[in-house]
Structure 1
Amino acid sequence: MNSKKGEEGSEVKEGSASELKGHGSFKNRDMFFRADQIDLKSLDIQLEKKLSKIWLNGALGSRKPKDEWEIDLSKLEIRYLVARGTYGTVYRGIHDGQDVAVKLLDWGADGHATDFETATLRSSFQQEVAVWNKLDNSNITKFVGASMGTTELKIPSNGQTLLPSRACCVVLEYVAGGTLKQYLIKHSRRKLPYKVVIQLALDLARGLSYLHSKKIVHRDVKTENMLLTTSRNVKIADFGVARVEAQNPKDMTGETGTLHYMAPEVLEGKPYNRKCDVYSFGICLWEIYACDMPYYNLTFSEVSHAVVHQNMRPEIPRCCPSSLGSIMKRCWEANSEKRPEMDEVVRLLEAIDTSKGGGMIPEDQMQGCFCFVPTRGP
């Protein structure tokens, strides 16, 4: 067989097209090939098939679940819209015969975040739902499943059927009693019996204690994020996904109502740990007892400044039993190290005697209690 020298001195054998098609192996690493003898069209087709396979295996709408928490969207039926927020939309639906809440997280419209930002959000989402999937507690909203994509999700036509390509989906048990915030607003005039106050507080405390035992910090504890069953049991919601939704500290302000519950160290942008949840619980405890909203007539900047620099806290009603008031004060200590752990809070609440009452007397009674006349302000 004839041969000739290449420009670099390497010897290229003519008629080696069969070897280029993969029928042999080459031992000479310096060998050059003639471009006109390579079937580029065939290579393009093979490359396209390879890339398509990779995409299908890792695409947003992959049919084959990659993780144990990934849900088959074909088994999910969306019924109707429940709520729409800044970072997501909540629907009610059915999954395998079970009533569920479906939360779609889109993190904004396509094109408004870099690929790196999107990848970071999706990575955090994966880590958090993987943790949520392993949790099992009666005071934590039960996780059903999640999906990294929504391409197979069928949403009732409402004029907005297009979802961003990077949207993710979380499916949870449906909790029918609404939020704790709504329940307290409903009772803002008549208030709650002391026994109910302690029961609600204990449910919340036990749920947080469980999360902390699993090394999870909620970071957005507020009555809005607590759901009630029809039998009035509290279930903590959004403990993991809320972290994804609040990547930017500026987003944790008035739009979500979170600022009123923020610990001083969080407001100042300092490092914080699980004790920030303890502080927020203290505010929730006051809210449950008083059926009122803290600092309702102050601006966000006024609240932030007064909480951090003037040690402002909600005013505890004079009729509040000292055992409960003491827990509030300990929980919202400025020094996070002085705040109790949530398991201690559970024990303190369990020790409270509710048999003799101690709740706020309804305001509409002729001989009502006037011990709680809010004096708000820095």
Structure 2
Amino acid sequence: MWNFHWPRPWSGSSDYYQLNTNNNNDEFEDIASIGKFEWMELCGSGSFSSVYKATWTERNITVAAKKVLSLSQKELDILKTIKNPCIINILGVISQSPDFYIIMEYANGGNLFNYLRKLKGSKLPDDTFYQWSEHATEAVRYLGSINIAHRDIKSPNYLITSARDLKLCDFGTAKVSNEGTSVTSHEKGSSPWMAPEMIRDKLASKKSDVYSLGIVIWELLTGEIPYGQADNQYQIMYLVAEKGERPLIPEDCPQLLRRLILSCWLEDRDSRPTPQLILERIQTKSFGPIRKS
């Protein structure tokens, strides 16, 4: 939907990520009813939402329609604000009770978590590791720049487009946040990606997103499930918050990359690196070759 490409090398400027928004299909719209859509199939469902593939007949485009229980004005304000090529494009909402839908760009490659499972132990090529790490990090950097804490950064919330770009989705737990925001039990992100302060203190911030980003980069490196040997989510939360355990980084991981990932996982959230610093390390490929020949 965006006229967007990833040039090389990085220019070193935030303008590198500016959108071309001349396409009218990118404009956010308050949609009157679900009658403007041809529903095609159920893509997935969870406790609080379901996602459908649909055709928006007026625009003649395929979209993803996420049915949610409700939409607050704060959520609408956040959805209308977000515009970045590393984030799934929010095209509009249907907010006429009882029909609440978020209409989004459709990504036909599925989510990153499931993609890595299909590799069955194989590792991503270096180019893909660098590209997707860059995309994942830019999404977090952008949100932080507009004072939004996503609070549920994880591989299932990164989607793969037909152009093989990685884009962040799902802003149901996102909050405008200059410092920290409280987290209720139903808002907590999935335990393998949760920062210790989210588990222990029920406090989330933009630096909590950095911790979770470190887990995603680890996944891109290893192709493995974080804490995959744990019996349940409560064991994971105990290991992270009380024992200070983190996923095991492979011995052959480049030292600079190892240090970067470990810095994302520091107990003291204020000591974690900024997304901008992480992005610069990735874009300059300062780690060198990831896979040993």
Q: Is the 8 A contact 1:143 1:173 kept in 2?
A: yes
Q: Which runs of 4+ in 1 moved over 6 A?
A: none
Q: 2:31 aligns with which of 71, 86, 99?
A: 71
The aligned counterpart of 2:53 is 92
Superimposed CA distance per residue, residues 217-245 of structure 1 (whole angstroms, 9 cap, x where no aligned partner): 1100000000001222111001x22449x
Contact 1:69 1:130 in 2 (8 A): no
Give the aligned residue type for 2:279: V
Q: Which consecutive unaligned segments of at least 5 residues does structure 2 have? A: 1-27, 176-181
Partner of 1:171: 103
Distance 2:81 2:203 in 1: 27
Asked whether the 8 Å contact 2:149–2:205 carries over to 1, the reply is yes
2:88, 2:104 within 8 Å by CA — same for their partners in 1? yes
SS in 1 for 2:149: coil
Q: 1:251 aligns with which of 168, 186, 208?
A: 186
- Supply the AA of the counterpart residue of 1:80: E
Root-mean-square deviation over aligned CA pairs: 2.2
In the TM superposition, what is the alpha-carbon distance from 1:197 to its structure 2 partner? 1.0
What TM-score do the two structures reach when normalised by structure 1?
Answer: 0.63
1:221-279 per-residue CA deviation (whole Å, 9 max, x = no partner) reads: 000000001222111001x22449xx9843357xx7x1010000000134331000000
In 2: Cα distance, 1:273 partner to 1:360 partner: 36
2:173/2:187 contact within 8 Å kept: no
Distance 1:323 1:194 in 2: 15
Task: Find 1:186's aligned residue among 118, 136, 139.
Answer: 118
Are the aligned partners of 2:148 and 2:174 in contact in 1 as well (CA < 8 Å)? no
Indicate if the aligned counterparts of 2:183 and 2:204 stay in contact, CA closer than 8 A: no
Count residues in correspondence. Answer: 256
Aligned match of 2:24: none
**How many Å separate the matches in 2 of 1:329 and 1:188?**
25
1:241 aligns with 2:177: no
Q: 2:194 aligns with which of 253, 262, 274?
A: 262
Contact 1:267 1:308 in 2 (8 A): yes
Q: Taking every aligned residue pair, what percent have the same amino acid on both sides? A: 27
Residue type matched to 1:136 in 2?
Answer: K
Q: Give 1:232's aligned residue.
A: 164
* Higher relative strand content: 2
Q: 1:352 aligns with which of 280, 285, 292?
A: 285
Q: What is the correspondence of 1:90-169 to structure 2 with a 5 Å cutoff?
A: 90-95=51-56, 96-106=59-69, 122=71, 125-149=72-96, 165=98, 167-169=99-101
| Contact 1:289–1:360 under 8 Å retained in 2 | no
Larger Rg: 1
Secondary structure, counterpart of 2:86 in structure 1: coil
Structure 1 distance, partners of 2:75, 2:130, is: 30
Correspondent of 2:146 among 211, 214, 218? 214
Q: Indicate conservation of the 8 Å contact 1:212/1:274, yes or no.
A: yes
For 1:82, the aligned partner's letter is C
**Can you list the C-alpha shifts for 1:24-73, whole angstroms capped at 9, x where unaligned?**
xxxxxxxxxxxxxxxxxxxxxxxxxxxxxxxxxxxxxxxxxxxx741132
Please tell me whether the aligned partners of residues 75 and 172 of structure 2 are also in contact (alpha carbons under 8 angstroms). Answer: yes
Measured in 2, the distance between the counterparts of 1:91 and 1:291 equals 28
The letter for the 1-side match of 2:73 is: Q
Determine the structure 2 residue equivalent to 1:199: 131
